[in-house]
Structure 1
Amino acid sequence: MFKIAIVGAGPAGVSAASRLLKATANKNHDEFHVNLFDRSLVPWGLLRTGVAPDHPEVKHTAQTWSNVSDFPNFQFYGGVNISDLKKAGIKSELSLKELLDCHDSVLLCNGAYEARTLKIPGAESRRVINAQKLVGYYNGDVMQDWDLEPAHLQGNVGIIGGGNVALDVARVLLEPALLKPSDVSAKFLELAKEVHKISLFIRRGPFDLPCTTRELRELIHLPSVSNVIINGLDKPLGESEEYAKLMKSRKVQERKTKRLLKLLAESETDKKSESKFGKGKTVEFNFFHTPEINYESSDKISVEFSHRGETKRRDLSALVESLGYEKTPVSEFITDVNLDSGKAFAFDRPIYMSGWALGGAKGVVGDSTESSRLAVQSLFDDIENGILKSLPRKNMSSIEHSNWENWKKIDEEELRRGQENGKQRDKILSISEMIKITE
């Protein structure tokens, strides 16, 4: 029997566990025992804490792998951090070397949860909020700090970034009332009810806008949004030569960009006629804008932006930085990483990587599970070729953790509370309360 440790209980990790255990059940491969580790007490990673509350169809993909605990050779170790870098405040920790000593190999699916931040003076202001924290706030992520203040989210909120996360945050801030039936945190609904305008500040131009057409459509078609403003361009987007050229293009690789920019151009409110401006909320796209420095007062933050050599100043109630995530390495001893197969080495032994832990913070759930499939296939191939062998190993010492049965208790309680409150799910918002429920 091969004993495999998987680090990270998000889509990549749980789908990998499911593949290994199904291979055992179907007798297609050698027998596997899988230990699944996650620093959180609960599984599903960004499906639970990253996907916007108004996208339940994405969150529900977790049900695809929910029967993983039915396999007898499976064990979940929640609340255990795997890292050579010790984290303050986390009780249960193992290094990669300690994990390898107790397993035949390790599959790293631990994602990328270190948020990129602004490197400018004033970025430490309490009115500068990282999108990761805000997303964690509205998704009830118990691994995040809950220290946002209501005064920071009202009136005009700025967001640096134009990717899917930035647009998710914008949409959720502008229409919190629509989220009431979802699994959104009740604390967040109260926090965001006074936001009337979102100003997106994007370093590059519209032709490099990184969001998807779906995310853009959902934002600008919100019932409460009456005005869509585009700033930073020499002329209206739909009148530019570059736009006209793109619309005439028949290149397959440009179809997504065409749909995206056509939607944006057709949604722009005519700024020459103020009578066309509605009384609803506003979404503002500011292209070619780079933040330089921030000034904070008791009720606002003033942000200076460089736009094509000119400096412009904007007063905002808060500035959200949505700059993406950094890969979170668990060890400095990982070498020879193959980005295609997911194979790597650590301490002269083959290990495997997938999802954001391998390729960085990009792609959707399907990309992570496909990456996971390739990594598991590499593991199968190495067993067949005699590269990965089942060797004598140490017994894993007793370590404090939360198991899958505990997760089921938490899951049932959240669903019960949700039913009582007319919601899909009412999440438990503290680690201490989760532990109390499982006792």
Structure 2
Amino acid sequence: MDQGNTAFMLIAAALVLLMTPGLAFFYGGLVKAKSVISMMMLSFGALGLIGVLWVLYGYAIAFPGAEGLLAPWSIDFSAIGLDSLLETGDDAAFPPMAFVCFQATFAILTVALVSGAIADRAKFGSWMIFAGVWATVVYFPVASWVFNFGLAEDGSFSYGGWITYGMQEMFGVGAIDFAGGTAVHINAGAAALALALVLGKRVGFQKGVHTPHNPPFVLLGAGLLWFGWFGFNAGSELAADGTAALAFINTIGAPAAALLAWLVVEKIKDGKPTSVGAASGAVAGLVAITPACASLHPIWALLLGVIAGAVCALAVELKWKLGFDDSLDVVGIHLIGGLIGTLYLGFFANGTGLFMGGGATQLLVQFIAAVAVLVYSFVLAYVIAFAIEKTIGFRVKSEDEVAGIDSVVHGEEGYVLEGR
């Protein structure tokens, strides 16, 4: 067994797990002071719930073996509770449980990302129900479409999800999604849009009313996210090798370029570059490079960062023009950024992109993968959220929203002055 690669995977898993508390800080700083506990608890609630579901049955759905082509209707019943994965042969590259740990952190983070669309107005219990159901019928199956794979002795795919292996069989090339542009970001962004539409607008929804209460929290959260993202991207190689190193440098370059591009757009548009804009630009670049980190020359990764930073800086304005209240811009950053990164590969992927010696086929399969995940996630998220809203209710009362849902929902305050 390769102890070096095993250690690499476990460290990468720990880095990705840190991203969820980082996201809690990022989201927490963006909301009102009287909603910070509620916002951060949505992330920590997802951490607890999805961590348990992954052990119980999530992995069995996401990685059902050769039957993964038929997901979400396939499941490896022997993997329920993970008992069958405890035994490891001495000739294995790494323990199966190391891969289980790594993928668990992806599931947790993806669900937590969705919560940014419902800041200031969601019931915690209803969110937990949504998170569990959505993870079961959307994230676990979509992870199987993208990440479930097996290799034959000659190094070719022996089975896999339809987005990678299935379209490779049909078109000659499969969609490229190295670390989760479709499974994580488009998936979460589409679900966030559905939730925003079901829950409706916050009280007093208009531009400039809901300002971030703690930009230092936002910067801290973005820093933790960027740090953890090296595990997210480089760790997806499952080995400490040259591909992981390429993914690592692109995870530096693309978000750095996106940060600068966002600030330039912000300066031109609003007159001042902001700390929240810097943090948001970095995250937009991280989102866009996620599917592409192992398939781009570093120069093309920089260009991707510039495009993602500039476009996402403009895309976050769509909610004001179209009238949907995506509170913390999950759509503008994760859905749009995920689409940009996924489709960009159709043009610039090493060897197969339209401008890199390939034809239009890579762009076609990237488009199919992106649209399939977007539609699947949006429709099911909308149905789940609508059912919750019409039964037990998803949104708090307007008066509770105005008063601040930290004290109403959790009985706590984010900031208590001494002597009060």
TM interval, shorter chain, is under 0.3
Higher strand share: 1
TM-score (norm. length: structure 2): 0.25
Determine which structure has more spread, i.e. the larger CA radius of gyration. 1
